[in-house]
Amino acid sequence: MARPFAVVTGASTGIGYELAKCCVEDGFDLVVAADEPGIHPTARDLQAMGAKVDALQADLAQPDGVEKLYAAVGGRLSTPSSPTPAAASGKASWIRISTTSCGW
């Protein structure tokens, strides 16, 4: 059976990082994104917890960043298994923000 999948933006620090950890603890594989290089060590930390994690450094306030995220996600959200969490640090993000399955 395939593991559930989620996308977490702003995942290199703070709330986004905590949401990503929560998702991994709940058995999710992830695409994590942030506009800073710290997303890559974050992805390695999350992989060490047992998840398949793809990291993307991109500015999601820019159209090319959104296109990169769309390409990184591929068809994995065509039938979502859970709401998609998102976090941002001072920038507006059009990505749907919703409750996670982490019991929040």
In the prediction, which pLDDT does 92 show?
Answer: 38
- Alpha carbons 38 and 56: distance in angstroms, whole number: 10
Give yes or no for residue 83 having a pLDDT over 90. no
Structural tokens at position 90: 């001072």
Residues 68-78 have pLDDT tens digits of: 999 998 877 65
pTM of the predicted structure, to 2 decimals: 0.75
Strands (E) located in the chain: 5-9, 29-34, 53-57
Going from N- to C-terminal start, the domains of the chain cover: 10-99
> Can you identify the CATH homologous superfamily of domain 10-99?
NAD(P)-binding Rossmann-like Domain (3.40.50.720)
